[in-house]
Structure 1
Amino acid sequence: MIELKNVCKRFGDKEILKGISAIMEAGKANLIIGASGSGKTVLMKCMVGLLEVDAGEILYDGISFSSMSNAERKHIRKEIGMLFQGAALFDSMTVEQNVMFPLEMFSNLSYRERKKRVDACLARVNLQDAHKKYPAEISGGMKKRVGIARAIVLNPKYLFCDEPNSGLDPQTSMLIDKLIHEITVEYNITTVINTHDMNSVMEIGDHIVYLYEGKKQWEGSNKDIIFSKDEKLNQFIFASQFLQDAKEMRQQELLNQRSGTG
């Protein structure tokens, strides 16, 4: 679990994060959504320690990240997996070498043990036959799956995903969403995802924090969104008339299910 308590961040005279409080729960896909410039990326950078907060606290399982020593922060970072927006694979390394890289940096495992762990992670993301391929030889969706394998190779307690569906077609995006959600539940990981993808929001949004101009405007689940009366959230999620009509149809479907009709 990661808890945000009244987190504030500014750059010069510009206030980016304005007192954000939320709890990112273990075993759930915690999504941070909002328009460009709303503060999503800055918030994630604060959570992983790339930026220091100006006020408030970020707590990892009840321990304040801000007050940790360098040694304690280093330990926490070993428990963090990161899936970058463009996968960020090393072009000169094979798939196997990319996934093994964190183990070489942060573990004392033998080569045989590292190889076994890499094989298991690549199998988990359905890439059993890609070990010796280079990033240039695989598709965008496969690169994201390699990125996921690398992110989980150290058995992280926390997983951060920055726009995991960026540049992918809708079908591949759904597969990546499903994989991230399965891994989150399977290993009880606290997963935090920055996204603009509304399919992700509706499919895997166990817990959603909507930022608007640096403030937490709304918080809830993907099911709560259907019945939300927050005007700013509805304008962001259901921007077109088609999506507004789809929301009304889904609302009615859920109401029918609750009442036992339909």
Structure 2
Amino acid sequence: MIELRDIKKGFGDKEILKGVSATMESGKVNLIIGSSGSGKTVMMKCIVGLMTVNSGTILYNDQDFTAMDEHEKKTIRQEIGMLFQGSALFDSMTVEQNVMFPLDMFGKGSYKEKKKRVMECLDRVNLKDAAKRFPAEISGGMKKRVGIARAIVLNPKYLFCDEPNSGLDPQTSLLIDKLIKELTLEYTITTVINTHDMNTVMESGDHIIYMYEGYKQWEGSNEEIIFAKDEKLNDFIFASEFLRDAKEMRQMEMFRDKNWRDRLQGGKPEK
């Protein structure tokens, strides 16, 4: 679990994060969404320690990350997997060598043990046959899957993804979303995704944080977002007439689901 308590971050006179508090649970896909300039990218960078907050607290399983020295932070970072927007693969290394890289940097054991772990991860993302190929020889979707394999090779407790569907076609995006969600559940990872992709929001968003001008404007699940009354959120998520129609159709589908109706009538406060 990752917990943010009243974190603030600014540059000079410009305040970017204005007292954000949130909890991101393990075994769930936690999304950070918002328009450009909303503070979502800065928030993710603060969570992983690429930026230092001006005030507030970031907790990893009740350990105060903001109060740690560099050695202690390194221990936490070894439990973090990163999937970068552009995959960030090494062009001069094969797929297998790219996935092996974190094991060479932080892992222990023999080469044989490392190789076995690499092939397990490549098999999990259905890329075992591409192990000897170079990044230039594979598609964008395959590169993303290599990035995922590299991100999970150290068995991380936390997985951070920056725009995992950027530059991908809709069908490949669905496959990447499905894979990330499956891995999150399978390994009980705390997954945090920074995204603009509305399909990711609607299909994978177990927990969603909507940022607006540095504030946490709304928080809830992909089911709750369908019935949310927050005007700024709805203007952002359901901006087009097509998406507004899709929202109404999803509402009708959910009302036909007795389990959802029972939960809705159970007095859960609306976000």
Task: Pick the TM interval, shorter chain.
Answer: over 0.9
**Equivalents in 1 of 2:224, 2:109: separation in Å?**
45
Aligned to 2:227: 227
Show the 5 A alignment for 1:174-253: 174-253=174-253
Aligned to 2:24: 24
Instruction: Kindly state the Cα deviation for residue 97 of structure 1 after the two structures are TM-superposed.
Output: 0.3
**Greater displacement, 241-250 / 91-100:** 241-250
Q: Which amino acid aligns with 1:58?
A: I
Q: Which amino acid aligns with 1:170?
A: P
Deviations 1:109-158 (A, max 9, x none): 11000000000000000001011000000000000000000000000000
**Equivalents in 1 of 2:178, 2:189: separation in Å?**
15
Q: Which runs of 5+ in 1 are unaligned?
A: none
Aligned to 2:88: 88
SS of 1:129's equivalent in the other structure is helix
SS of 1:191's equivalent in the other structure is strand
Aligned to 2:11: 11
Aligned to 2:254: 254
**Equivalents in 1 of 2:19, 2:59: separation in Å?**
15
Deviations 1:26-76 (A, max 9, x none): 000000000011111100100000100001000000011011122211100
**Equivalents in 2 of 1:70, 1:250: separation in Å?**
47
Q: Which runs of 5+ in 2 are unaligned?
A: 263-271
Q: Which amino acid aligns with 2:112?
A: R
Aligned to 2:149: 149
**Equivalents in 1 of 2:191, 2:99: separation in Å?**
19
Instruction: Kindly state the Cα deviation for residue 188 of structure 1 after the two structures are TM-superposed.
Output: 0.2
**Equivalents in 2 of 1:156, 1:250: separation in Å?**
34
TM-score (norm 1): 0.98
Instruction: Kindly state the Cα deviation for residue 253 of structure 1 after the two structures are TM-superposed.
Output: 2.1
1:73 and 2:109 aligned: no
Instruction: Kindly state the Cα deviation for residue 213 of structure 1 after the two structures are TM-superposed.
Output: 0.5
SS of 1:22's equivalent in the other structure is strand
**Equivalents in 2 of 1:107, 1:68: separation in Å?**
22
Aligned to 2:35: 35
Q: Which amino acid aligns with 1:197?
A: D
Q: Which amino acid aligns with 1:22?
A: A
Aligned to 1:60: 60
CA RMSD in angstroms, aligned pairs only: 0.9
TM-score (norm 2): 0.95
Large movers: runs of 4+ above 4 Å: none
Instruction: Kindly state the Cα deviation for residue 224 of structure 1 after the two structures are TM-superposed.
Output: 0.2
**Equivalents in 1 of 2:195, 2:45: separation in Å?**
14
Deviations 1:62-103 (A, max 9, x none): 011011122211100000000000000000000000000000
SS of 2:67's equivalent in the other structure is coil
Instruction: Kindly state the Cα deviation for residue 203 of structure 1 after the two structures are TM-superposed.
Output: 0.5
Instruction: Kindly state the Cα deviation for residue 251 of structure 1 after the two structures are TM-superposed.
Output: 1.1
Instruction: Kindly state the Cα deviation for residue 256 of structure 1 after the two structures are TM-superposed.
Output: 2.6
**Equivalents in 2 of 1:247, 1:165: separation in Å?**
22
For these two proteins, the number of residue pairs brought into alignment is 260
Aligned to 1:162: 162
**Equivalents in 2 of 1:98, 1:18: separation in Å?**
38
SS of 1:222's equivalent in the other structure is coil
Q: Which amino acid aligns with 1:71?
A: H
Instruction: Kindly state the Cα deviation for residue 13 of structure 1 after the two structures are TM-superposed.
Output: 0.6
